[in-house]
Amino acid sequence: MLYLIGLGLGDEKDITLRGLEAVNKCEKVYMEAYTSLLSFGLSTDGLSTLEKLYGKPITVADREMVEEKVDSVLSEATSFDVAFLVVGDPFGATTHTDLVVRAKELGVEVKVIHNASVMNAVGICGLQLYRYGETISIPFFTDTWKPDSFYEKIQRNRELGLHTLCLLDIKVKEPTWESLCRGKKLYEPPRFMTINTAIEQLLEIEQNHGESAYNEDTNCVGLARLGSEDQKIVAGTMRQLLAVDFGAPLHCLVIVGTTHPIEEEMLNMYKLKGEIIDHKDHRTA
């Protein structure tokens, strides 16, 4: 059997009791390590902390393994119980949906154990979850590639008065273009998009489109290290958040839509000093 086990967002202690019981009975344990990370990242100390609590050696499953060599994992799951650990909830990334489909095609039984993810933990900022529109992902710009297809999604959300959750890019074990051209993979250092970089890119896209979907005075909420002991949440305009040091990853950003008075009360708990979030229609602010 293949167990897909959500780890939650903070550290090794966020696994559910049901998830821990499943890990304990599995002969092999993998940890997916490229769609998200726990607060301690992928350091040797961090992995040993997981292994100590879970009582099992853990094999890190990077992008290359998950996307190219996952059949070997599924083959193992036909003979014995295998755990596949996922930060957040198992279905927070489409990769894991594909894993379930492939397992079913091979006749492998799958059991999913859910946990908290950014999709629900973001509610701590006070914006009601059912008032969110489509979630977007913001990738790193390069000199030759500046994707902006998500602009229309933000625009559509704001026209409807809905909030927009922006998931920010992470780069873990990404091969360099030069190495790919030479046929020998060399990997770039890990990179994690900050809220500041995301806002800079969003404003550049708005300047290029010029359709006033948002601007520097648009209210947003920056959230860093959700679920960890040192999580940081700040509400303010895009301009204001650009000057905030949110610290270590992972970061995400919410573009605020039209707010209810109760939402505003909660947002004002996180506002920058001297600023007040009001309930006007934020499509023009």
Q: Which residues, listed in sequence order, are joined to residue 237 by a DSSP beta bridge?
A: 219
Annotated binding-site residue? 9: yes
Model confidence, pTM: 0.89
Cis peptide before 250 (omega within 30 of 0): yes
Annotated binding-site residue? 163: no
Regarding whether 146 and 23 lie in a shared domain, the answer is no
Annotated binding-site residue? 72: no
Domain end marker among 116, 148, 175: 116
CATH code of the domain in which 83 resides: 3.40.1010.10
Q: What is the pLDDT of residue 44?
A: 47
Regarding whether 172 and 153 lie in a shared domain, the answer is yes
- Residue 52, both tokens: 């100590």
Regarding whether 130 and 97 lie in a shared domain, the answer is no
Regarding whether 166 and 74 lie in a shared domain, the answer is no
pLDDT tens per residue, range 160-182: 999 999 999 998 776 666 666 77
Local structure of 274: helix, strand or coil: coil
Size of the chain in residues: 285
Q: What is the pLDDT of residue 216?
A: 98
Annotated binding-site residue? 117: yes
Return the H-helix or E-strand segment holding 52: helix 44-54
- Domains in the chain: how many in total? 2
Regarding whether 270 and 153 lie in a shared domain, the answer is yes
pLDDT tens per residue, range 128-153: 999 999 999 999 999 899 999 999 99
- Asked if 34 and 68 count as a contact pair (C-beta separation under 8 A), the reply is no
Q: Which residues contact 250 (CB under 8 A, 6 or more apart)?
A: 36, 37, 168, 170, 192, 224, 225, 226
Give the structural domain span for 30: 2-116
Annotated binding-site residue? 230: no
- Residue 87, both tokens: 């930060």
Return the H-helix or E-strand segment holding 236: strand 232-237
pLDDT tens per residue, range 228-241: 999 999 999 999 99
Annotated binding-site residue? 8: no
Residue 59 has pLDDT above 50, yes or no: yes
State how far the Cα of 222 lies from the Cα of 196, in Å rounded to an integer: 9
Regarding whether 112 and 14 lie in a shared domain, the answer is yes
Q: Point out the least confidently predicted range of 41-50, 109-118, 223-232.
A: 41-50
Domain end marker among 96, 116, 136: 116
Regarding whether 106 and 126 lie in a shared domain, the answer is no
pLDDT tens per residue, range 187-228: 778 899 999 999 999 999 999 999 999 999 999 999 999 999
Annotated binding-site residue? 202: no
- Residue 127, both tokens: 């914006």
CATH code of the domain in which 184 resides: 3.30.950.10
Report the sign of the C-alpha dihedral through residues 74, 80, 85, 86, in that order: positive
Q: What is the pLDDT of residue 281?
A: 47
Regarding whether 226 and 181 lie in a shared domain, the answer is yes
Annotated binding-site residue? 279: no
Regarding whether 141 and 48 lie in a shared domain, the answer is no
pLDDT tens per residue, range 78-95: 999 999 999 999 998 777
Residue 20 has pLDDT above 80, yes or no: yes
Domain end marker among 98, 116, 134: 116
Regarding whether 129 and 106 lie in a shared domain, the answer is no
Local structure of 11: helix, strand or coil: coil
